[in-house]
Chain A
């Protein structure tokens, strides 16, 4: 019988035996007493169908502890442990605070792999409902990230215009440049302005530089967007550019993207999403 070797089982059996023996002993004592005892004493006035009640004073110890319990209950309720000492919102705030402190400590200097996996996690929850699990935009329901943040995307933006980012200088009209010039400007932006610093058409960079004046009107000579008047192209293709879109939202030609600045994402998470989204560009 293996299970008897277990301490807890043995103790439980021992306890059960003790309770059984005590119960039998006490029962026998009272049964014997009932046979021999005679009741005496003064009856109360009340009589319920022949059943009476003796006038017995409360045992003094019992009465004192009864009153004492009531007094203690009132004290406990009002002063000892008042209702206000626990609050579910307070507990929530504590929980969030300790979590955030831990999060910031753990991800103070995240490496690329950490950012990528965190970014993918956030992407699948917050972005995938519109951009699709793979970021392909689900047949044009939202931006396709394979075609976003790269040189072709700049060409498309110049040809089709860009709208819905609520910058002070307004929307970018379509058709500012023809297809050939757009390609050249895109090469210039990728190699000279953006953080990517690499163009697929290096030969076109110089002719793009000559055409840059059209864009400089809003994006500035250096492409930095003149202190927030227009998008800062120097961050193009990086996590920072994506984080900016997350903060501003976008009411573009495809649809409406909500802002993600209500505190649901921390700055580290935004950078992580940006890193992940930028990695999807081809």
Chain B
């Protein structure tokens, strides 16, 4: 019956692929279209949060912290509601992480605050005795890269149609308009912080990495 197939390596390979891929296709496709859409209420990151996200990636926070809460009671008790795939719609790249040396951060904005993050980044042991997380003092010295964050936001808006500049969504506008919005968001965070170094830098118009990172962490809800 299939002798013709045995003599045609190409079609044989196609047949093998279809047979093997079948299980994957029937489990993935039906759900994929629906669940990959943004969950209602999910918004793209503001420029300051994106800058903080870059700091998060640069300092490899995702090497020790996951951002994915699995649907188990033990996890939702500690971290909150389990993650939905639509919540990652605007994460480029996603930062699920693969190992929890530290706790999950998917919804850290719900239960940690600006001042706590400040103490923690400066000296983790001061708030979490026995923590093995290193201190990230350089975040209080280096400036956040707002230009790159704006460029990224503008790019994903144009290339992937990420809904910036729409009603109830973060506004980008021109770089100057965006910079103004960034300064506004940063001002609220700096006001909640204690570090005089960061506060004085902000008065000079500089936004330190820690401010952007806290904006990002507070946005994780």
Contact = CB atoms under 8 A, between A and B. Distances in A.
Interface of A: 44, 46, 77, 83, 88-89, 91-92, 95-96, 99, 125-126, 129-130, 133, 138, 141, 254-258, 260, 262-264
Contacts of A126: 111
Contacts of B3: 44, 46
A83 B119 CA distance: 48
Interface residues of B, number: 26
Interface stretch (B69-77, B136-144, B156-164, B175-183): B69-77
Given A83-B26, A92-B72, A96-B73, A256 B113 contact: yes
Given A92-B82, A129-B116, A264-B80, A138 B127 contact: yes
Contacts of A262: 80-81, 110
A130 B116 contact: yes
Contacts of B126: 138, 141
B30 interface: yes
B115 interface: yes
B113 A89 contact: no
A263 B79 CA distance: 11
A125 B127 CA distance: 13
Given A92-B73, A255-B115, A133 B129 contact: yes
B165 interface: no
Contacts of A258: 110-113
B78 interface: yes
Contacts of B26: 77, 83
Main secondary structure of the interface of B (DSSP, over half): helix
Contacts of A92: 71-73, 76, 82
A133 B126 CA distance: 11
Contacts of A83: 26-27, 30
Contacts of A46: 3
A88 B111 contact: no
A129 B30 contact: no
Interface of B: 3, 26-27, 30, 71-73, 76-78, 80-82, 110-116, 119, 126-129, 192
Nearest to A46: B3
A19 B145 CA distance: 71
A46 B27 CA distance: 39
Given A133-B129, A255-B115, A256-B192, 6 more contacts: A91-B71, A141-B116, A255-B116, A257-B113, A264-B77, A264-B111
20 contacts: A44-B3, A83-B27, A89-B82, A92-B76, A95-B73, A96-B73, A125-B78, A126-B111, A129-B112, A129-B116, A130-B113, A141-B127, A256-B113, A256-B114, A256-B192, A257-B113, A262-B80, A262-B81, A262-B110, A264-B80
Nearest to A130: B116
Give the one of A77, A83, A96, A264 with max B CB within 10 A. Answer: A264
Closest 5 CB pairs of A and B: A92-B71, A255-B115, A256-B113, A258-B111, A96-B73
Contacts of A125: 78
B30 A89 contact: no
A256 B72 CA distance: 29
